[in-house]
Amino acid sequence: MTTAQTMRAVVFERYGPPSRLSLRKVPVPEPAAGEVRVQVFASTIGRTDTATLRAHPFFARAMTGLIRPKMTTLGMDFAGVVDAIGPEVTTYRPGDRVFGLSPDRFGAHAEFLCLPENEAIARIPADTSFKAAVVGEGAWYAHSTTSLLSKGQNCLIYGASGAIGTAAVQLAKSRDAQVTAVVGHRHLDLAERLGADRVVNYETQDFTGLGAIYDLVLDAVGKTSWFACRPLLKPGGIFCATDLGPGWSNMILGTWFAMTGSKRVRIPFPADAPGFIRHLSGLLADGRFNGVFDRSYKLEEIVEAFHYVETEQKTGIVVVNVRPEAEAEGEG
């Protein structure tokens, strides 16, 4: 049980650019009945964080707060140690090493976070470090698409170097699918290491002219379109996107196809975060999923870190090292 009354947290009170974020002292949250409090060692900055900060797209405000943000501390991924438990908690005890996702409350860009024990939380596998466990967010989004794949099917993942793309390659392989990964020159080796069966350099090759057709094409970085990928699909094949697409085309087409009873164009919405985190825990434990990490930042460097994520050039995951002492002590 911590004796600290205040903690450091990154707070924003108005939507806007990263300069709206500030590191402050705020009260340590108390776990309610059924909740655990986690001392956060590591978190991440994902595109959900950057989009939520800027309230983009604008209709997201319906969920995040119309005028001002409802949750004032971002951070969906967390890894740390259970530090206190509320009444009626049965699964966790103080000292348990845990990781997970906080998609409704966010709040992991802070030293402590409370969440219900039956939400998206699991024990960190024994040989996995805190940093290696903050892999949930991009993987959760990727899983909403790769879970559509069956054994032996083939897929093309466009933009296999981001948080979603690197996860999608591994999750598709874990389902025994054949994977073609499309990446830029600097990520060719990475895509191969992740297990892609074929790697295509979008800077020198036209990925639409490979002479192959697929059960599923995923645009993991919002940089291509249904119109470009349509000839790549088998009859009944699916185009999945992580973004609205040029001129909101993915959303408009997805709605249109859904109205006609077809599922050819989709922006899969991630669901069942608790179930997914349990699944991911198993993949981490048996080494079938390994996060791809880019830079790490301290809480004090959060504004710079958000600017970096907004370049859309990161490789995999950007980490927030909430408790750098842990790394120095060999616990990182």
Ligand X SMILES: NC(=O)c1ccc[n+]([C@@H]2O[C@H](COP(=O)([O-])OP(=O)(O)OC[C@H]3O[C@@H](n4cnc5c(N)ncnc54)[C@H](OP(=O)(O)O)[C@@H]3O)[C@@H](O)[C@H]2O)c1
Report the interface residues with ligand X, using CB under 6 A: 46-48, 137-138, 141, 159, 161-165, 183-184, 186-187, 202, 220-223, 242-243, 312-315
Alpha-carbon distance of 258 to 126, in angstroms, equals 44
CB of 309 to ligand X, least distance (A): 6
Query: What CA–CA distance (Å, rounded) separates 309 from 311?
Result: 5
Comparing CB distances to ligand X, the nearer of 184 and 324 is 184
User: In this complex, which beta carbon is closest to ligand X, that of residue 48 or of residue 178?
Assistant: 48
Q: Which is nearer to ligand X, 36 or 45 (CB)?
A: 45
* DSSP string for 130-195: TGGG--HHHHHHHHHHHTT--TT-EEEEESTTBHHHHHHHHHHHHTT-EEEEEE-GGGHHHHHHTT
Shortest separation between residue 313's beta carbon and ligand X, angstroms: 5
CB of 126: closest distance to ligand X in angstroms?
27
Q: Is 30 exposed, middle or buried (0-12, 13-18, 19+ CB in 10 A)?
A: exposed
- Radius of gyration, alpha carbons of the chain: 20
The residue (of 170 and 315) whose beta carbon lies closer to ligand X is 315
Rounded least distance, CB 54 to ligand X, Å: 11
Contact 92, 36 (CB under 8 A): yes
| Minimum CB distance to ligand X, residue 296 (Å) | 15
Q: Of 91 and 147, which CB lies nearer to ligand X in the complex structure? A: 147
Distance CA 74, CA 306 (A): 11
